Structure 1
Amino acid sequence: MQYDGKVYEKAGNPKKGDIAVFNENNSFFQGQWSEVLAIDAAGDPVLCAAHHLHWYARHLDYYRQVTEKLAPKPGRYIIFTDKDDKPMDTRVGKRYKIIWDGKYCDDVGDYLDAEHVAKFFPYEIVEHEEPKQTSESTETIEHDGTEYRRVHRKAKPGDVVVFTETADADITEGIPYEVEDVDSDGDVHFLDDKDEGNVGISREEFDIYGKVAEESAEQDEVKSITVRHKDGTITRLQDVESIELAQ
């Protein structure tokens, strides 16, 4: 559709600035349109006063101004934007890496041609994924909707690693890779930019990030030790970090 000399295409969830058209879920205003002025805390659109301001999102269809999209090329990410109109076995908002042959891997391990799929579903293409800072500190990043905090311990499965220096052409410095396994040498195993198994070894430099929820739970766990003395008295020590035995 066109509005004010600009081209709009159908979109998924509403955003400020979209054109909203009432659909069959609202017979009173059906076919009428309004600009989305804001999005409320529930994710529903706020319209003009003539259309009674607040409406449930399902009562309208949304159209967004068309901007020039990046091509679905290897090294970029494809993101599907409409929960009701997306390929099977994908999640709305998740970044799917387009690998060297122009394909991406969905959530069940099938490889699909990104350029072909993009012809049929609403999507966005973004450049390589930068860790999203959730505070002023670089100690915290966000990856696939989960918050991670940098940790100073050995990596474990479920962590993510962010390489700061590597000579491996299949690893991009600055983006998170999820740790799938850690071997007996302490090397981390993960899927690289080609979705192939790779290993982070000691001569490469990377930071380790653990899930904030899990790290917080571990810190909150109270560690206590019960000591039975020779005279029969008992002492319970709490919040113990370490014990030194003297001879």
Structure 2
Amino acid sequence: MVRVRHCHLSGRYDAKPHEWTAALNYLAVKAHVITLTEARNVQAVRDWAKANGWQLAQPRGAECAVLTRGDIKEDGAGPLTNRRLSSGKKVTATWAKIDLHPRYRPVTFIVTHLPARVEGRNGWQRGTPTSVHADAVRGLKRLAAEQNRRVVIVGDVNLNLRRRWVQEWADHTFRRYAAAWHGRLPDAGTFRGRIIDWHLSGRGVNAGPAQPLKRLDGFDHRPFVVSLEL
């Protein structure tokens, strides 16, 4: 059994280059794989990967990114639905199939950022963001199903796992995947006490519980780490 560590940080569009660099330096000590959102056109991420010998999956114009110490065999990015938000923004995902150990098949990491303003206290809000969110989830599940069984889905889902109805929806919608946020949830959330950054793993990847990390300067989401057994 091989253990690797995966860190996720939902980024911030206005974080400064030195804040990105400091964040990646901190996460790299703890991780074999790092996933990011809100990293579109952030040159500091590319510069850091090149300077530190990490491989980067982030096709031109993609919002999300995957960095790894391993060997990226394939990667890509694209919209999860043809529908757009009222702002015109597309909902996308970036994925990378990574060799993490020579004795084990690659693992595909998929990272996405789903629409906000969709969650109510006892159910879904009405409106365009919610319907686009639903279409994007269907696209996300299709993308994951196209990969091998060893798949990890991660990102800013903008649904708080502390709410019972969200947990029930997640358990049903992603019933083929194991959630790293489960059981007694930690007091520290990923965004203002809420847990809206998710981690799901498919067959052949055994994930330990997600562990929140410290807040990082320049970012409003708290990163977390998950230990994976291959």
Query: Which TM bucket (shorter chain)?
Result: under 0.3
Computing the radius of gyration from Cα coordinates, the structure with the larger value is: 1
The TM-score with structure 1 as length reference comes to 0.24
Higher normalized strand content (fraction of residues)? 1
Higher normalized helix content (fraction of residues)? 2
